[in-house]
Amino acid sequence: MKAGLLYGPVHEDLALVEETLDSLKQVDFAPLAEMMDLALSGSGKRLRPALALLSATFGDYNLELVVPLAASIELLHTATLVHDDVIDNAATRRGRPTANSLFRNSTTVMLGDYMFAHAAELVARTANIRVIRLFAHTLMVMAKGEIGQDMTAYDSRQTVRDYLFRINGKTASLFATAAEGGAIVAGEPEEWIQALHGYGYNLGTAFQIVDDILDFTGDEREMGKPVGSDLMQGTLTLPSLLLMERYPKSNPVTKFFAGRRKQEYLDQVVAMVRESDILEESYGMARDFCRRAVEAIELLPDTEARGTLTDLTEYVLDRHS
């Protein structure tokens, strides 16, 4: 779906976010400019900055405040991907070469740090202490989530509850901050701010669950990564955890993690998940979080923006990459 249809009343304003991000590539140091262009080009549908813009429409929609906030959200997200690629030693992302595949890991880590700093500068342009503190807190939560994922790699003792806690930090927290931050800079009532926070949190959780489902079902060319890549990196996601719950005494996930990381075990996991109703059960959980997201914003005015936020839950459930 095109962004114009996807983001309704704010699709034209997303161009201003894009202009802000493009301006960050204009650096008077050629290697850094090249790395910034690589990191910021070919990105996704800019869902997170769009959430910030849509949430701000329910109050004082001031583009001089909400555009820097939206750009900071996207830059923060992109910086975490840069660091993720270093940690995972990923050569490509969505079919494009990663920064760490073209530059030294140490240089790429510093690129991510540079982007984090730029994101902080952008959010400071809002001159809103509450939003700045929210941004800082979110960065800490995301870092904690990433540390948790790294520390539990190849650990088969995790549960679905552990998984939900982890994706809260890794993904849902930034969705929630995008929606909440937009409401804060627009000066909306506290009840609306919390409603939009709840919407973002639940939408982000559903987004990550679907992402993890696509790791089993997606097309490698569309996804830009091999099927089962999460398990290859030692990351347990919802479908794998549900499979382990059904076969607690003997399952290929445990065998794969137990120091015998053979392709045959990985292939067995993918086949068993695909041939069962685990994927439907996982989608059911994603749909439940989307339902909660829609319920969270029922108290907001019935505007085109609210309708767009509702429609985005369907987009999250139906996407293929």
Q: Are 110 and 42 in contact (CB under 8 A)?
A: no
93 DSSP assignment: E
Instruction: Return the structure tokens found at 65.
Output: 């405040």
- Look at residue 41 in the predicted model and tell me its pLDDT: 82
Q: Are 119 and 76 in contact (CB under 8 A)?
A: yes
Put residue 251 in one of left, alpha, beta given phi > 0 → left and psi -120 to 50 → alpha.
beta
The pTM assigned to this predicted structure is 0.94
CATH code linked to domain 10-318: 1.10.600.10
Q: Where are the alpha helices (DSSP H) in 152-262?
A: 160-167, 173-185, 190-217, 220-223, 229-232, 238-246, 252-257
Instruction: Return the structure tokens found at 214.
Output: 């696509």
Q: How far is the C-alpha of 57 from the C-alpha of 12, rounded, in Å?
A: 13
Classify 315 as helix, strand or coil: helix
- Look at residue 90 in the predicted model and tell me its pLDDT: 65
Q: Going residue by residue through the chain (321 aa), what tens digit of pLDDT does each one get?
A: 554 589 999 999 999 999 999 999 988 888 888 888 888 886 678 999 999 999 999 999 999 999 999 999 999 999 998 887 777 676 666 667 676 766 787 888 898 899 999 999 999 999 999 999 999 999 999 999 889 888 999 999 999 999 999 999 999 999 999 999 999 999 999 999 999 999 999 999 999 999 999 999 977 776 667 889 899 989 999 999 999 999 998 899 999 998 667 889 999 999 999 999 999 999 999 999 999 999 999 999 999 999 999 999 999 999 887
- Look at residue 201 in the predicted model and tell me its pLDDT: 98
- φ/ψ of 93, rounded to 5, equals -140, 120
Domain chopping of the chain, boundaries: 10-318
Q: How far is the C-alpha of 222 from the C-alpha of 216, rounded, in Å?
A: 13
Report CA dihedral (118, 119, 120, 122) to the nearest 10 degrees.
90
